[in-house]
Structure 1
Amino acid sequence: MKRLIPLLLLLGLAAQARAEKADAFKPTEIKCRSCEADGVTGVVTVSGGVVIQRGTLRIEADSGRIERSPDDYQFARLTASPGNKVRFRQKADGPGERWIEGEADRVEYDERAATVKLFSGAKIRRTASDRLPEEAQGEYIAYDSRKEFYVMRNTNTGEDRPGAGRNTIILPPSRVAQPAGALANKGDRP
């Protein structure tokens, strides 16, 4: 039961964190210092200040490998040099300024499965213009955007091992504090 409660809280976090749907139909632009692209295998290897842009999705890494499947789906494995992080940011679907952003030593994006996996020092933050941010951090975070489901594990391999570490979830309060005078004024009314 103790493990079920954090998962239910994460479901609430994930339910409002869907990626911008229109991004799936945008071209992928990759900027880097060095690139090797194999048109036969569909593999692109990049390094040196890698920036991947696809609609509102932006990923920054030190190096990476992007593969295109025969049925035209992309899979990307992006890594950071020691002391750096792979960072991503994407507008969440729906009204207003809502963003999902994260970082880790390695990030894997699977377009077909609609999953993002963050390995080692993983952090995800969901922001909205009218609310405090929601945050999650641990050694491994996987997010399935179709099922709106997060999984966190305490090792960077995606395993859950006793004594290996802890995950942290920070949920903002659901109620907004009223100004001090607002409560007193309500009590003065007949």
Structure 2
Amino acid sequence: MKITSATLSLAFAVLVLAAAPAGAEKADRTKPMNVEADTLRYDDVQQTSVFTGKVVVTKGSIVIRGARMTVKQDPEGYQFGVVTSEPGKQAFFRQKRDGVDEFIEGEAETIEYDGRADRVKFIGRAEMRRLRGTVINDETTGAVITYDNTNDQFTVDGGSASATPSNPGGRVRATLAPRSSASAPAGAASAPPARLRAAPTLGQESR
């Protein structure tokens, strides 16, 4: 089914991905962060590293790519990173979900990774997808998307920053694939997804 928000500033309702027991790889937050880039500037006093030029980050199953990344480490060893893209492009994030052959992928102009909170925020023309193997199952776009790895939930905010020629209002857009049912007869054909409009109580009346 396809859902469209009814207002630009509406925070899209928190969605549980696939309502499945699997979450993001829980061990990723304790894995070392490995970074490749063209240049590095390190400040030992501030415990801050700035990587620039074709930045590639790996941390367990996590992969992040962008043009520039600033990493700060707190006294407990948790890392907070901000990745930005080249002008006109998007930074990239990917992480495996725990116990299943599924991945979370996202793109945005800026990506913030908080190792302590185990949270990722996509800012500016944000997109996030859930892939089963190589097949996209769920896809969401908006101005800002926040994905919480600890409970496998995310929120999406719409706004003018997410406006595109095909979506001039900059509204949140989400496409959610139907979930398989154990009670469905084998080989039964699935009905086409329904198109639903957001309830008027969530925001402004449809025009």
Give the TM-score, by structure 2 length. 0.73
1:31-56 CA-partner distances (Å, limit 9, x unpaired): 00010112222100010000011111
- 1:59, CA displacement in angstroms? 0.2
Name the residue aligned to 1:165.
Answer: 170
1:70-89 CA-partner distances (Å, limit 9, x unpaired): 22111111101112110011
Helix, strand or coil at the partner of 1:63:
strand
Q: 1:101 to 1:131 in 2, by over 3 A?
A: closer
- Computing the radius of gyration from Cα coordinates, the structure with the larger value is 1
- What is the alpha-carbon distance in structure 1 between the residues aligned to residue 73 and residue 47 of structure 2? 5
- 1:164, CA displacement in angstroms? 5.7
- What is the alpha-carbon distance in structure 1 between the residues aligned to residue 136 and residue 93 of structure 2? 19
Match of 2:187 among 161, 178, 182: 178
Helix, strand or coil at the partner of 2:75:
coil
Helix, strand or coil at the partner of 1:146:
coil
* Mapping 1:53-92, distance limit 5 Å: 53-92=58-97
Contact 1:99/1:127, CA 8 A, preserved across alignment: yes
Name the residue aligned to 2:122.
Answer: 118
Name the residue aligned to 1:37.
Answer: 42
The one-letter amino acid paired with 2:141 is Q
Is 1:93 aligned to 2:84, yes or no?
A: no
- 1:117, CA displacement in angstroms? 0.6
Contact 2:67/2:83, CA 8 A, preserved across alignment: yes
Question: Which of 142-151 and 106-115 deviates more?
Answer: 142-151
* Mapping 1:107-146, distance limit 5 Å: 107-129=111-133, 133-146=137-150
1:80-115 CA-partner distances (Å, limit 9, x unpaired): 1112110011111113x2111110000001111221
Question: Which of 130-139 and 58-67 deviates more?
Answer: 130-139
1:107-128 CA-partner distances (Å, limit 9, x unpaired): 0011112211101111111111
Greater fraction of residues in helix: 1
Name the residue aligned to 1:7.
Answer: 13
- What is the alpha-carbon distance in structure 1 between the residues aligned to residue 122 and residue 176 of structure 2? 20
- What is the alpha-carbon distance in structure 2 between the residues aligned to residue 30 and residue 43 of structure 1? 13
Question: Which of 148-157 and 31-40 deviates more?
Answer: 148-157
Give the TM-score, by structure 1 length. 0.79
Computed over aligned residues only, the root mean square deviation of the Cα atoms, in angstroms, reads 2.9
Is 1:104 aligned to 2:108, yes or no?
A: yes
5+ residue gaps in structure 2?
Answer: 162-167, 190-207
Name the residue aligned to 1:21.
Answer: 26
- What is the alpha-carbon distance in structure 1 between the residues aligned to residue 134 and residue 41 of structure 2? 43
Fraction of identical pairs, as percent: 34
- What is the alpha-carbon distance in structure 2 between the residues aligned to residue 16 and residue 136 of structure 1? 21
The one-letter amino acid paired with 1:124 is M
Name the residue aligned to 1:187.
Answer: none
Aligned residue pairs: how many? 172
1:103-158 CA-partner distances (Å, limit 9, x unpaired): 0000001111221110111111111139751111111101112233211111378x
Question: Which of 53-62 and 122-131 deviates more?
Answer: 122-131
5+ residue gaps in structure 1?
Answer: 158-162, 181-190
Name the residue aligned to 2:203.
Answer: none
